[in-house]
Amino acid sequence: MQPIERKLLNAVQRDFPLEKRPFAVIAKRHHITEKRCIEMLRRLTAQGILREIRPVISWNRVGFTGILIGLAVAPDRVDEVAAAINGIPGVTHNYLREGRLNLWCTLTCENDADGQRSLTFMRSLDGVADVKEFASEKTYKIGLVLDV
Amino acid sequence: MSDTPKEITRGHMAVFQDPLPLVEKPFAAYAKKLGITEDETIELLRHYLSTGVIRRLAGVLKHDRAGFVVNAMVAMVIPPGECDAAGAVLAEFPFITHCYRRTAYPDWPYTMYAMVHAKSRREFDGDIERIRSSVAPQEMAVLRSVKEYRKTAFRMG
């Protein structure tokens, strides 16, 4: 990555301008043209470095609940279990990790019944020995900003 | 401005859940779907940012592609009365992006969870050591990411 690309990535992670032409504002701060700024961000997106620029919504403020779920899955079944979990609507993150609970996913659902149904489904999958729900009791940081 | 009724807010979020297009006038796409002007769209975004329904308007990176190749969920046993103090310390570390207190179980006693992102194994080991020395958890499990099966933003159906 070029230094200017790093600077742009750091810039768009914070203080995105609420202006009709926000990329012109960012471009001016970095002494490049609006066109070049947009082109670079498009290229960083195409390369998969920048996922997207978006409003990050607090879904819990409009009636949804997010939960973290940790599963203990037999190593030879983990790909199949992960694929089945990805088929549940509202599963946004799903990671294989080191540890006794080795598959971790986040589920956003509209009501408790939907959440419990999804947990029951996970418990029924072949190779799953344990499913634990980790409700968030207090949030200390939701940052998402990383200097590249 | 007062809080908007939930059903109206949901209608707005159905539009704002889309990524911002990388074009000269990116807010025009939202404006068109909402049937309002670009200025009104920007005002609406400003409103939801001020009430916290929209947390941020910002670029979201793909960690590993952006150079953060070592990622882990770090689970810690911190006594209940010390969680707030530990949470405040952990939140200050730039290498921690998320930190929560969560439900514990008899066979999984961890109460604090922090997501750690590092550019190298060496940097990562240093980060873990800083966590250990600053909040002194009774127990600590470092659950490194091995494989990503999914990472996406939630969307309403």
For the residues A61-75, what does the mean pLDDT come to? Answer: 95
DSSP E strands in chain A: the ranges are: 50-57, 65-73, 91-97, 103-109, 128-134, 136-142
In angstroms, how far is CA A5 from the centroid of its own chain?
Answer: 22
- Does CATH place domain A59-134 in 3.30.70.920? yes
The answer to whether A88 contacts chain B (CB < 8 Å) is: no
For the residues A58-80, what does the mean pLDDT come to? Answer: 95
Chain A residues with CB under 8 Å of B73 CB are 95, 97, 104
What is the distance between the alpha carbons of residues B116 and A97, in angstroms, rounded to a whole number?
Answer: 13
What is the distance between the alpha carbons of residues A95 and A103, in angstroms, rounded to a whole number?
Answer: 6
For the residues B56-66, what does the mean pLDDT come to? Answer: 91
Residue B35 backbone class (left: φ over 0; alpha: ψ -120 to 50; beta: rest): left
Q: State the burial class of residue A5 (Cβ atoms within 10 Å of its Cβ: 0-12, 13-18, 19+).
A: middle
Q: What is the pLDDT of chain A when averaged over all its residues? A: 95
From B19, B45, B147, residue closest to A53, measured CB to CB: B19
- Return the pLDDT at A58: 94
Residue B1 scores a pLDDT above 70: no
Residue carrying the six token digits 């952990």: B90
Which residues in B42-56 are b (16+ Cβ under 10 Å) and which e?
A: bebbebbbeeebbeb
Residue B129 scores a pLDDT above 60: yes
CB contact under 8 A, A97 and B55: no
As a residue count, chain B comes to: 157
Q: Which helix (H) or strand (E) holds B139?
A: strand B139-151
ipTM of the complex: 0.89
Residues pairing with A71 in the sheet: A103, A131
For the residues A96-112, what does the mean pLDDT come to? Answer: 95
User: Choosing among B23, B34, B46, B56, which should be mutated to test the A contact, i.e. which has the most A CBs within 10 A?
Assistant: B56
Domain edges within chain A: 3-46, 59-134
- Return the pLDDT at B3: 62
- Distance from the B2 Cα atom to the nearest Cα atom in chain A, whole angstroms: 14
Chain B residues with CB under 8 Å of A92 CB are 150-154
- Return the pLDDT at A108: 95
Residue B2 scores a pLDDT above 60: no
In tens, the pLDDT along A5-46 reads 999 999 999 879 999 999 999 999 999 999 999 999 999 999
Window 12-41 of B: residues touching A by CB (8 A cutoff) are 13, 16-20, 22-27, 38-39
